[in-house]
Amino acid sequence: MRFSLIALSALLSFSGCSQKGAFDLFKMDMAQERAVEELRSGTILMSLETKAIFSSLYLNKIDPLTYKEGEYFIVALYFGKDNRSIKNLKIEEYGYHITLNGKAPVIMEPLEEKDYRRRMMPVQNKWNRYYLIRFDLAPERSLALQLENNQTGSVVLTYQK
């Protein structure tokens, strides 16, 4: 009887603590919250070794007034165990290419460290290389952003318009 009273009082005292969500712990504006929700990541593995990490944001959902002339993404790329300087990194040098629903990008612009658009990406580190990528407007409602290499494989990140 005594145990059940103690358990009941503990249950009642702790039940009022669950009113907060994860976003209550951080000060974020609506664009930052949408960016966290829209972040997709994938990894290319070969023989249990990480060859590439691919993260992206679909900007049309984050800021639809600014990004409406095409399909826009911010992409973060990491290529594992390579001695080449990250500052000179180009996707083509690694044999990778990016497509959206099988189509090549119209514009692929590297984003420098101080670029304001790069701050939208929730994943920030010195090892990634960041790009703003624009594709032609896709008629499909489902978008498949793919990073592919014929030697190591591919990863597909999917979005809904």
Q: Would you say residue 147 lies in a domain?
A: yes
pLDDT at residue 105, as a whole number: 96
pLDDT at residue 106, as a whole number: 96
Higher pLDDT, 84 or 36: 36
pLDDT digits (tens, 9 = 90+) for 9-34: 665 566 655 566 655 665 656 666 77
Q: Would you say residue 2 lies in a domain?
A: no
CA distance 160 to 144: 9
Question: Is residue 76 over pLDDT 60?
Answer: yes
Question: Is residue 155 over pLDDT 60?
Answer: yes
Q: Would you say residue 10 lies in a domain?
A: no
- Give mean pLDDT, residues 95-113: 93
pLDDT at residue 122, as a whole number: 85
Q: Would you say residue 77 lies in a domain?
A: yes
pLDDT at residue 2, as a whole number: 60
b vs e for 3-23, b when ≥16 Cβ sit within 10 Å of the residue's Cβ? eeeeeeeeeeeeeeeeeeeee
Question: Is residue 84 over pLDDT 60?
Answer: no
Q: Would you say residue 11 lies in a domain?
A: no
pLDDT at residue 93, as a whole number: 75
Question: Is residue 88 over pLDDT 80?
Answer: no
Q: Would you say residue 67 lies in a domain?
A: yes
Number of domains comprising the chain: 1
- The residue behind tokens 């390579």 is 82
- Complete DSSP assignment for 86-124: GGG--GGGGTEEEEETTB--SEEEE--TT-GGGGG-S--
Residue numbers of the domain that contains 28: 23-160
Residue 11 corresponds to which amino acid? L
Higher pLDDT, 40 or 80: 40
